[in-house]
Amino acid sequence: MQPGPGPAPWPPTDRPRVRQIVLDTETTGLDPAAGHRIIEIGCVELVNRRLTDVNFHRYVNPGRESDEAALEVHGLTAEFLADKPPFEEIAGELLDYVRGAEVIIHNAPFDLAFLDAELARLKLPRFSAHVGAITDSLALAKERHPGRRNNLDALCERYGISNAHRTLHGALLDGALLAQVYLAMTRGQDALGMDIGDGGEGTQRAAPVAAGPLSTFVLAASADEVAAHEQLIEGIAREARAAVWSAP
């Protein structure tokens, strides 16, 4: 008896490879024009809407202190950052990692202002020139949930994504949570159709849905999926300095 064919490869060989990067930064303050700098960059990769665990995470020495309010948010002290590389030493790695991908950022203008300021110091083109498209997940959330809170904590609660381990902000941890929020927020978009780029950088439009009464179907995560989620978060917490993200 001839053995049957093995499992179908993933991604399917006849399906285009769609690469998306969910990016987040932590900074010394709120305004790059006032000399504030990036201190942490976290990127989480999705290929064909699946997490790959091929992530990018770097701490950065900003050469200055963080504002007190910013320090309360991220907890990354000048002493901890003192032996970390400056942005110029990790810029090439970052740009190689994101090159050509669609980059998803929550409140994209904020992070882009800092990234562009860092690249300008190195006389390099703006961040958008290195990537395929930029999607602002905050703008997307506001379209789907007008008049409601759409920060990361609120979206995690809305979509049933556990963030109990998030005691302080961290770029890689927040990127991993945002990746799950983005997948939940855009679930079914492949079936409805995606049109990226025709309406401007990072624009997405779903195909029209027939009018009429709708019923809601909620698919609960399986035990294996819950375990995989917890394993991913634990791994990220270890990589991103576990003491920062774990409750005392």
List, by residue number, the catalytic residues. 169
59 in helix, strand or coil?
Answer: strand
22: phi then psi, degrees, rounded to nearest 5: -95, 120
As a whole number of angstroms, the distance between CA 193 and CA 231 comes to 32
198: phi then psi, degrees, rounded to nearest 5: -70, -30
Is omega for the bond preceding 11 within 30 degrees of 0, making it cis? yes
| Contact (Cβ atoms closer than 8 angstroms) between residue 171 and residue 60 | no
As a whole number of angstroms, the distance between CA 115 and CA 128 comes to 10
> Which 8-state DSSP code applies to residue 37?
-
Q: Using alpha carbons only, give the angle 99, 102, 123 rounded to the nearest 5 degrees.
A: 45
Amino acid at 98: V
Instruction: Show the beta-strand stretches assigned E in the chain.
Output: 19-27, 38-47, 50-51, 56-59, 102-105, 133-136
As a whole number of angstroms, the distance between CA 143 and CA 185 comes to 11
